[in-house]
Chains A and B, each alone.
Chain A
Amino acid sequence: MLEIRELRARYGSIEALQGTSLEVREGELVGLVGHNGVGKSTTLKAVAGVLKPSGGEIRWLGEPLRGGAAGTIAAGIAYVPEDRRIFGGLTVEENLRLGATTRADGADAVEADIARELERFPSLRRLLTRRAGNLSGGEQQMLAISRALLSRPRLLLLDEPTLGLAPIVIDTLFETIAALRDEGLTVLLVEQNVAKTIKVADRAYVMAPGGRIELEGAAAELERSDAFRAGYLSLAPTRQMKAVTA
Chain B
Amino acid sequence: MTVLEYLVDALSGGGIYALLTIGLALLFSVMGLMNFAYGELIMTGGFAIYLLRDLPWPLMVLGTIAAVVAIALLTERLAFRPLRGASPLTLLIAAFAVSVMLQNAARMTVGPRAKGVEPYPWLDGTISLGGVDVQVLDLVTIVVALALIGGLVALLRRTRLGVQLRAAAEDFEMASLLGVKANRVIAAAFAITGVLAAVASLMLVMKQGSVSVTIGSVPLLIAFVGAVVGGMGSLQGAALGGFLLGAVTAVLDAALPGELAPFRDAFVFGLVIAMLATRPQGLVPAPEVRV
Complex interface bits, A206-232 against B, C-beta within 8 A gives 1, otherwise 0: 000000000000000000000000000
- Contacts of A101 on B, CB cut-off 8 Å? 164, 178-180
List, in ascending order, chain B residues with CB within 8 A of A102's CB: 178-179
Assess the A85–B171 pair: CB atoms within 8 A.
yes
The interface-forming segment of B12-20, B116-124, B132-140, B283-291 is B283-291
Flag if A147 contacts B178 (CB, 8 Å): yes
Other-chain contact of B291, A79, A89, A132, A137 (Cβ < 8 Å): A137
Residues of A within 8 A of B181 (CB): 70
CA A99 to CA B177, docked complex, whole Å: 9
* A125–B170 alpha-carbon span in the complex (Å): 24
A90 to B167, CA, bound (A): 7
Name the prevailing secondary structure of the B interface residues: helix
Given A87-B170, A90-B163, A90-B167, are A133 and B179 also a contact pair (CB < 8 Å)?
Answer: no
B273 interface residue per 8 A CB criterion: no
Q: How far is the CA of A16 from the CA of B31 in the complex (A)?
A: 28
With A69-B176, A98-B180 in contact, is A83–B163 under 8 Å at CB? no
What residues on B are CB-neighbors of A84 within 8 Å? 289, 291
CB of B173 within 8 Å of the partner chain: yes
> B150 to chain A: closest CB distance in Å?
19
Cβ of A72 under 8 Å from chain B: yes
* Residue of A48, A97, A140 touching B177 (CB-CB under 8 A): A48
How many residues of A sit at the interface, in one of the four size bands? 35 or more
B187 at the interface (CB under 8 A from A): no
Given the known interface contacts A88-B290, A94-B163, the answer about A50 and B179 at a Cβ–Cβ threshold of 8 Å is no
A61: CB under 8 A from chain B? no
**Tier of interface size on chain B:** 20 to 34
Residues facing B in A78-96 (CB within 8 A) are 79, 81, 83-90, 94
Q: Does B144 interact with chain A (Cβ within 8 Å)?
A: no
A87 touches B167 (CB 8 A): yes
Residue A134 at the chain B interface, CB threshold 8 Å: yes
> Which residues of B, 147-177, contact A by the 8 Å Cβ criterion?
160, 163-164, 166-167, 170-171, 173-177
B182 at the interface (CB under 8 A from A): yes
B173 touches A69 (CB 8 A): yes
Q: Are A98 and B167 in contact (CB under 8 A)?
A: yes
Show the binding face of B for A, using Cβ within 8 Å: 160, 163-164, 166-167, 170-171, 173-182, 287-291
Task: Name 21 interchain pairs, CB-CB below 8 A, sorted by A.
Answer: A48-B177, A70-B181, A70-B182, A72-B177, A73-B178, A84-B291, A85-B174, A87-B166, A87-B174, A88-B290, A90-B170, A94-B167, A97-B163, A98-B167, A98-B180, A101-B178, A102-B179, A135-B290, A137-B291, A140-B291, A151-B178
